[in-house]
Amino acid sequence: MMQIEVRLLRDSDIPAALRLKELAQWNQTENDWLRLLHLEPSGCFCATIDGDVVATTTTTTYGHELAWIGMVLVDPGRRQLGIATKLMHVAIDYLSRAGVTTIKLDATLAGRSLYENLGFKKESLIERWEGIAGTGAVACSPLDTAARREALVLDRRAFGAERSKLIEMLIEDSYVAPLVATKADGRLTGYALARQGTAAVYVGPLLATGTDAATTLLEGLLSQMSGQRVYIDMNTDFEGGRKILTERGLVKQRDLIRMSYGKESKAGSSPSIFAIAGPEIG
């Protein structure tokens, strides 16, 4: 009789996790998996059959007010066995025991019904856009030590939860020079990062107080990777976001549904977030 076992995901499981990711044609790299394990070593799980990893899920906590569930992957040959539901119950139980009041995730259309059956409710829409980075003038500044502190403050205010550890890691892992936008008086109006993916460079997070700052930051990033394929997961609550992307030759690829479980919270959702940090981390 087939026995499904659930255990913690370990560094040594990353090759198996990458195999599942490739089967799903997702964009995450080995470094993305390592970051998730480093951020939440007790909250990343896998399901095994006869010792083989056949499914994964990860959690990332941002204090007690918010956590994210991501990387819900199941081997196509092992679907319809209730494995994803089993892993989700384990993840939700872990976060509940940790005292987290609100859990969010960004669902694919295929996964939406799974999460609805578990009690998740639709909150908003994220759109995946893709294209080839063009050239342009860089009218923003590099993210130096002083600007980094301001960017973390801006992020905490916009995101609504403490995720400075994640942002610090993404800054260090940024594929191109991290950028900030400022007003004439030097006040920070946004920041932007990008990281390498297996299919495309992933642009995000990108936070901005308005369309001018978002445009400046996006052009600054794209100019550093001219000719390369990019993905951007745009928050549709950001006013004018589609126009900014369309004018730069990007096209919409698919929808992601942001969903929430537990206490109603605006954390993780803000009109100042132009591009999210990633579907697996919010």
Superfamily, domain 128-275: Gcn5-related N-acetyltransferase (GNAT) (3.40.630.30)
DSSP secondary structure letter of residue 48: E
Structural domain spans, the chain: 4-100, 128-275
DSSP assignment of 67-94: EEEEEEEE-GGGTTSSHHHHHHHHHHHH
**Among the listed residues 207, 206, 274, the one whose alpha carbon sits nearest the alpha carbon of residue 238:** 274
- Residue 120: in which H helix or E strand, if any? none
- Kindly compute the dihedral angle of the four CA atoms of residues 177, 218, 254, 280, in this order, to the nearest 10 degrees: 40
DSSP secondary structure letter of residue 267: T
pLDDT at 138 (0 to 100): 66
Whether 4-100 shares its CATH topology with 128-275 is answered: yes
Distances (CA, A) of 137 to 143, 183, 200, 244: 17, 17, 22, 15
Please report where in the chains the tokens 């932007």 appear, as a residue: 192
- What are the pLDDT digits (tens) for 246-281? 999 999 999 999 999 999 999 988 999 999 999 999
Question: What are residue 192's DSSP bridge partners?
Answer: 179, 206
User: Is 170 a residue whose pLDDT tops 80?
Assistant: yes
**Among the listed residues 60, 54, 67, 63, the one whose alpha carbon sits nearest the alpha carbon of residue 120:** 67
**pTM recorded for the entire structure:** 0.95
The length of the chain in residues reads 282
Distances (CA, A) of 184 to 11, 59, 89, 188: 46, 40, 50, 10
- What are the pLDDT digits (tens) for 182-191? 988 888 999 9
Please report where in the chains the tokens 């549904």 appear, as a residue: 257
- For the packed helices 164-172 and 145-159, what is the interaxial angle rounded to 10 degrees? 140
pLDDT at 1 (0 to 100): 61
Percentage of the chain exceeding pLDDT 70 = 98
Residue 37: left (phi > 0), alpha (psi -120 to 50), or beta?
Answer: alpha
Instruction: Kindly report which listed range (20-24, 90-94, 138-142, 166-170) carries the lowest average pLDDT score.
Output: 138-142
Percentage of the chain exceeding pLDDT 90 = 91
In CATH, the number for domain 4-100 is 3.40.630.30
